[in-house]
């Protein structure tokens, strides 16, 4: 029973903070709400017995990516006054469109309640099993992702330079 | 009693769908390019949560390895995207995406 309430709480926090990211006027508040959302998603990972992913999620998203966002927002000196506004008509259209998408996504779930999934190893999220999969079955993609990082790093430095010849 | 017995998988699918739709709403609703970036991150996280839920319920580590790779791609994407954003700001003095309409048919 306890787990159910924890799930309700985390789900409420994540949906609420995600909504606040979209509707907040001040970009700094958006970043802070997004960090809150990421922490609640990390809580979901712990609940799902994926402790390694929870740790990596907090370190990479809340630690690295959001600090980058915060730096850029403070560098560009964005605040409520500089925030551009869409017309009410376009906002209404955006709400209708995403609402319809939600209806479709939830509608496809109908009838799936009775489906049964075969049960495998319950400790799949522990570091030992995850490492075994990562370094046995997915060794090549793992190495290729290091090249991706190198390319992203070179690209970011090149774009950030003052003069591009 | 573990999460897998206490909570049906459908709830996680529902939660991920709601988070994804909020991300889509953010992309359509806002004009500030940085907020649009954040909404894209939100969508990526919704997919990550869904993959983790499926992987845990199925008892297969491969899904969580995919989440790991998605995190790596998201980190690279943010680095390049924010660099592009700074270049845009240097040229237009704004992060409003409506100034970027040169490629619009």
Q: The domain containing residue A162 runs over which residues?
A: 123-165
Residues A70 and A132 in one domain: no
Whether A2 maps to a domain, the answer reads yes
State in Å, rounded, how far the first CA of chain B is from the last one.
57
Check residue B96 and report its DSSP letter: B
Task: Let me know whether A77 and A130 are in one domain.
Answer: no
R_g of chain B, CA atoms, integer Å: 18
The burial of A163, by beta-carbon neighbours within 10 Å (0-12 exposed, 13-18 middle, 19 or more buried), is given as exposed
| Region of poorest pLDDT, from A43-52, A118-127, B3-12, B20-29 | A118-127
- Does residue A112 sit in helix, strand or coil? coil
Residues A4-19 pLDDT 10s: 899 999 999 999 999 9
Identify all chain B residues contacting A105, using CB atoms and an 8 Å cutoff: 17, 20-21
pLDDT of residue B27: 92
Instruction: Please tell me the distance in Å from A62's CA to the nearest CA on chain B.
Output: 11
The answer to whether residues A59 and B67 touch, using CB atoms and an 8 Å cutoff, is no
Q: Does residue A92 sit at the B interface (CB-CB below 8 Å)?
A: no
Per-residue pLDDT, A82:
67
Q: Residue A50: inside a domain, yes or no?
A: yes
Residues A133 and A77 in one domain: no
pLDDT, average across residues A128-140: 89
User: Is the Cβ–Cβ distance between B48 and B67 less than 8 Å?
Assistant: yes
> What is the domain count for chain A?
2
| Cβ atoms of residues A49 and A94 within 8 Å | no
**How confident is the model over B83-98, as a mean pLDDT?**
85
Tell me whether residues B65 and A57 touch, CB distance under 8 A.
no
Q: What is the ipTM of this complex?
A: 0.90
CA–CA separation, B47 and B103 (whole Å): 30
B78 interface with A at CB cutoff 8 Å: yes
Is there a contact between A30 and B62 if contact means CB atoms under 8 Å apart?
no
pLDDT of residue A97: 93
A107 domain-assigned: no
Q: Which of residues 38-77 of A touch B (CB under 8 A)?
A: 38, 41, 44-45, 47-50, 52-53, 56-57, 60-61, 64-65, 68-69, 72-73, 75-76
B-contacting residues of A 114-153, CB under 8 Å?
117-122, 124-125, 129-130, 132-134, 137-138, 141, 145, 148-149, 151-153
Closest CA to A159 of B97, B96, B85: B85
Q: Is residue A111 part of a domain?
A: no
CB of A156 closer than 8 Å to CB of B79: yes
Rounded-to-integer distance, Cα A19 and Cα B91, Å: 31
* CATH of range B3-96; options 3.40.30.10, 1.10.287.3510, 3.30.1280.10, 1.20.1630.10: 1.10.287.3510
* Tens-place pLDDT, residues B33-72: 889 999 999 999 999 999 999 998 888 888 899 999 999 9
In a domain, A110, yes or no: no
Which of B98, B10, B78, B85 minimizes the C-alpha distance to B50? B10
Let me know whether A7 and A68 are in one domain.
yes
- Domain contains A94: no
**A26 vs B contacts (CB less than 8 Å):** none
Asked whether residue A109 is assigned to any structural domain, the reply reads no
- A3 and A76 in a single domain? The answer is yes
Distance CA B28, CA B98 (A): 12
Partner residue facing A98 (CB), from B6, B24, B87: B24
- For chain B, the structural domain boundaries read 3-96
Per-residue model confidence as pLDDT tens digits over A81-100: 667 677 888 889 999 999 99
Token duo for residue A70: 């915060």
Q: Does A17 touch chain B (CB under 8 A)?
A: no
Q: Measured between CA atoms, how close is A99 to chain B, in angstroms? A: 8
Q: Are B80 and B19 in contact (CB under 8 A)?
A: no
CA A36, distance to chain mean position in Å, is 11
Model pLDDT, residue A127: 86
DSSP A21-69: HHH-SSHHHHHHHHHHHHHHHHHHHHHTT-HHHHHHHIIIIIIIIHHHH
Interface size between A and B, measured as CB pairs under 8 A: 238
Residue in A31, A85, A129 nearest the CB of B61: A129
- CATH code of the domain containing A72: 1.20.120.1200
At A54-90, the pLDDT tens digits run 999 999 988 888 888 888 888 888 776 667 677 888 8
Q: How far apart (Å, rounded) are the C-alpha atoms in residues A85 and B96?
A: 9
Tokens of A57: 């999620």
């Amino acid at each position: 029973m306890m787990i159910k309430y924890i799930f309700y709480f985390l789900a409420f926090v994540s949906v609420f903070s995600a909504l606040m990211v979209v509707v907040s006027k001040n970009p700094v508040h958006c970043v802070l709400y997004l960090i809150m959302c990421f922490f609640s998603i990390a809580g979901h990972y712990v609940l799902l017995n994926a402790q390694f992913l929870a740790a990596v999620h907090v370190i990479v998203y809340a630690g690295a990516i959001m600090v980058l966002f915060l730096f850029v927002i403070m560098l560009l000196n964005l605040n409520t006054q500089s925030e551009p506004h869409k017309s009410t008509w376009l906002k209404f259209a955006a709400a209708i469109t995403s609402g319809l998408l939600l209806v479709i996504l939830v509608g496809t779930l109908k009838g799936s309640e009775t489906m049964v999934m075969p049960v495998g190893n319950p400790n799949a999220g522990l570091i030992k099993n995850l490492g075994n999969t990562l370094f046995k079955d997915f060794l090549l993609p793992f190495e290729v992702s290091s090249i991706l990082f190198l390319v992203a790093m070179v690209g970011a430095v090149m774009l950030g330079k003052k003069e591009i010849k | 009693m573990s999460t897998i017995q206490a909570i049906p998988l459908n709830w996680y699918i529902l939660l991920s769908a709601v988070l994804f739709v909020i991300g889509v709403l953010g992309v359509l609703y806002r004009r500030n390019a940085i907020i649009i970036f954040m909404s894209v991150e939100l969508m990526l996280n919704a997919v990550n949560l869904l993959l983790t839920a499926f992987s845990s319920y199925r008892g297969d580590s491969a899904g969580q390895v995919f989440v790991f790779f998605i995190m790596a791609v998201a980190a690279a994407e943010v680095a390049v995207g924010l660099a592009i954003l700074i270049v845009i700001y240097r040229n237009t003095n704004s992060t409003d995406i409506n100034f970027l309409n040169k490629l619009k048919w």
